[in-house]
């Protein structure tokens, strides 16, 4: 009985072990299948997310608001597929940041901030994450923090176009135009196929009043012919240069014809350009109306503010000085608004307001410092010959010759790219004082006798000084050199003829009949 009991117990254990093993095999197989399924699914999801991000980046590359919105939708689809995809959150943050900062898209700021928070929580390492983070600091006005944030990343090896561009914006906002230029151009070099970086650089040099912006925007459109931001930029650059105004007008009309595709800032900028075109045509009231229309779309559009201020100055309206003050408060690091504003105010007879505007420029930029090649620290103003030339011009035109002379001396001391013009400007003060010998002494080094000097106006000044000293023959030769320089610079024919007629009139008044005959016979041959 006992033996049977033992045998039955043994058989039972054998049956239990076999069943358990079978169950365990089934469970393990199921678990393995699940793991394989999850791994495959995860792999497929990762692949799908990667493809979506690639699509989003390609779409965003086109750069217009509709492109950014479409790209953002694709990036958000990637987030829907994988809520933990760090790069997807970073790309959403980057695209939403562009829609917020460039195009003032409703809801874009909140979306950008939320996406950046999630990108950081998921430890995103992409340039979109860090670029968005830097731009958010710029947007909040913490420019030094943005500069330092990027600089710390660069020390660790980060060197993407987005980061360099963000740092350039931060440096520009602080008035460090020297270093910001390096940032903009290096970003372009790293991402030369992306016309948005060229457009941003074009806008920056327009703020400096550099006419080379025409070439920059032209190159941007060569890369991306449909970039609306670059179309606006090229039109504005041409208007500021007063060159091909008709082409600029047509380009702006083309931008505005695509109304459904325009963000408020793009539309505002196009209308602001129309206001500047009206100013060129001396239609001040029309310019003010257009500028106000632009400001209704984007109250911070600096070029609309500038167009309105210029129109008020042209009307000699008492509101003009305040309009320029409001403008530079919104764009304190843009030299063109101070310099051109001062010239417009001076032309309107508002000398004190012009000088006050330049004082604000000096107050803003005097804190900016840079290192020279040999490691010495110099203030930006020490090298800022354009500022001292502008100040001198305003003072000279208002009859404050001694103060103008002091400003021109500082322009000469700067030893920068405009040193030749600085010497000419100082000579012009001596001319105004009728100190012709001093004027000729100042002009000697910049007006070689073989006519190879740079400035037409310098040769004209030599002619004026020599005529004043009754030295008519050499004076005529200097005027010829000046005319040749003017022709080389494509001065209008009527301007050249005005000089020729003026010299002839002065020779006639001085009873220099022989020289007058020679001048009338030969002068025009030099400009044909």
What does the DSSP assignment read for 12-55?
Answer: HHHHHHHHHHHHHHHHHHHHHHHHHHHHHHHHHHHHHHHHHHHH
HSE-up of residue 62 (Cα within 13 Å, Cβ side): 14
With a cut of 70, which residues of the chain have pLDDT below it? 1-44, 526-528
Question: CA-to-CA distance for 200 and 161, rounded, in angstroms?
Answer: 12
Helix (H, G, I), strand (E, B) or coil at 303: helix
Selection from 217, 152, 144, 139 nearest residue 175 by Cα: 144
Question: CA-to-CA distance for 349 and 344, rounded, in angstroms?
Answer: 9
**Residue found under tokens 């000096």:** 362
The DSSP bridge partners found for residue 371 are 377
**The two three-digit tokens of residue 430, written as one number:** 């001596």
368 in Cβ contact with 362 (< 8 Å): no
**The two three-digit tokens of residue 262, written as one number:** 């325009």
Please give the pLDDT value at position 523.
Answer: 80
Please give the pLDDT value at position 7.
Answer: 47
DSSP string, 347-408: HTT-HHHHHHHHHHHHHHHTT-EEE-TTS-EEEGGGG-HHHHHHHHHHHHHTT-HHHHHHHH
**The two three-digit tokens of residue 178, written as one number:** 């020297």
Over its C-alpha atoms, the chain yields an Rg (Å, rounded) of 34
- The CA distances from residue 440 to 413, 457, 465, 478, in Å, are 20, 13, 7, 12
DSSP code at position 317: -
Please give the pLDDT value at position 375.
Answer: 78
Please give the pLDDT value at position 22.
Answer: 62
Question: CA-to-CA distance for 510 and 102, rounded, in angstroms?
Answer: 62
328 in Cβ contact with 356 (< 8 Å): no
**The two three-digit tokens of residue 204, written as one number:** 């920056």
Task: Dump pLDDT digits (tens) for 398-446.
Answer: 999 999 999 999 999 999 999 999 999 999 999 999 999 999 999 999 9
Helix (H, G, I), strand (E, B) or coil at 126: coil
**The two three-digit tokens of residue 495, written as one number:** 């301007």
Please give the pLDDT value at position 490.
Answer: 85
Selection from 480, 471, 466 nearest residue 518 by Cα: 480
Please give the pLDDT value at position 354.
Answer: 97
Question: CA-to-CA distance for 143 and 133, rounded, in angstroms?
Answer: 12
Question: CA-to-CA distance for 298 and 307, rounded, in angstroms?
Answer: 14
Please give the pLDDT value at position 34.
Answer: 59
507 in Cβ contact with 472 (< 8 Å): yes
Please give the pLDDT value at position 203.
Answer: 97
**The two three-digit tokens of residue 402, written as one number:** 């001694």
Question: CA-to-CA distance for 415 and 463, rounded, in angstroms?
Answer: 26
341-369 burial, b at 16+ Cβ within 10 Å, e below that, comes to: bbbbbbebebbebbbebbebbeebbeebe
Question: CA-to-CA distance for 204 and 188, rounded, in angstroms?
Answer: 13
- Residues 131, 134, 138, 143: is their CA dihedral positive or negative? negative
| CB atoms closer than 10 angstroms to residue 24 | 10
256 in Cβ contact with 271 (< 8 Å): yes
Selection from 142, 146, 148, 121 nearest residue 132 by Cα: 146
User: Angle formed by the axes of helices 177-190 and 161-173, to 10°?
Assistant: 160
| CB atoms closer than 10 angstroms to residue 177 | 21
């Amino acid at each position: 009985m006992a033996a049977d009991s033992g045998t039955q117990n043994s058989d039972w254990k054998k049956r239990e072990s076999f069943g358990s093993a079978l169950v365990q095999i089934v469970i393990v197989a199921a678990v393995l299948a699940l793991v394989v399924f999850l791994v495959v699914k995860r792999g497929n999801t990762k692949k799908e997310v990667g493809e979506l991000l690639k699509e989003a980046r390609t779409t965003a590359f086109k750069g217009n608001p509709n492109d950014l919105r479409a790209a953002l939708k694709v990036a958000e689809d990637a987030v829907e597929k994988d809520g933990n995809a760090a790069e997807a959150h970073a790309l959403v943050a980057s695209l939403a940041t562009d829609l917020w900062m460039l195009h003032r898209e409703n809801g874009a700021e909140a979306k950008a901030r939320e996406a950046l928070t999630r990108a950081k929580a998921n430890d995103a390492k992409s340039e979109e994450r860090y670029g968005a983070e830097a731009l958010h600091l710029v947007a909040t006005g913490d420019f030094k923090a943005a500069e330092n944030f990027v600089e710390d990343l660069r020390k660790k090896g980060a060197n993407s176009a987005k980061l360099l561009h963000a740092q350039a914006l931060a440096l520009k906002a602080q008035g460090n135009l020297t270093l910001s230029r390096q940032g903009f151009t290096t970003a372009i070099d790293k991402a030369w196929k992306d016309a948005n970086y060229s457009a941003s650089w074009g806008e920056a040099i327009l703020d400096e009043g550099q006419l080379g912006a025409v070439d920059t925007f032209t190159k941007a459109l060569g890369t991306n012919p449909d970039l609306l931001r670059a179309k606006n930029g090229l039109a504005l650059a041409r208007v500021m240069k007063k060159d091909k105004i008709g082409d600029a007008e047509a380009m702006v009309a083309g931008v505005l014809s695509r109304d459904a595709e325009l963000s408020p800032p793009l539309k505002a900028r196009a209308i602001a350009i129309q206001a500047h075109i009206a100013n060129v045509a001396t239609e001040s009231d029309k310019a003010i109306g257009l500028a106000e229309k632009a400001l209704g779309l984007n109250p911070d559009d600096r070029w609309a503010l500038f167009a309105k201020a210029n129109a008020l100055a042209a009307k000699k309206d008492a509101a003009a000085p305040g309009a320029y003050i409001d403008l530079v408060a919104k764009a304190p690091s843009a030299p063109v608004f101070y310099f051109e504003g001062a010239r417009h105010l001076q032309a309107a007879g508002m000398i004190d307001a012009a000088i006050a505007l330049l004082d604000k420029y000096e107050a803003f930029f005097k804190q900016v410092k840079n290192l020279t090649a040999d490691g010495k620290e110099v203030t930006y103003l020490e090298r800022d010959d354009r500022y001292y030339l502008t100040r001198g011009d305003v003072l000279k035109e208002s009859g404050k010759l001694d103060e103008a002379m002091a400003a021109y001396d500082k322009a000469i001391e700067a030893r920068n790219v405009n040193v030749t013009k600085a010497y000419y400007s100082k000579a012009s003060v001596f001319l105004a004082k009728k100190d012709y010998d001093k004027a000729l002494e100042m002009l000697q080094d910049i007006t070689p006798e073989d006519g190879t000097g740079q400035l037409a106006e310098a040769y004209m000044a030599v002619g004026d000084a020599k005529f004043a000293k009754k030295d008519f023959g050499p004076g005529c030769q200097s005027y010829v050199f000046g005319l040749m320089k003017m022709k080389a610079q494509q001065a209008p024919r009527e301007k050249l003829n005005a000089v020729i007629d003026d010299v002839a009139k002065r020779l006639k008044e001085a009873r220099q009949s022989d020289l007058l005959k020679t001048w009338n016979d030969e002068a025009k041959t030099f400009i044909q």
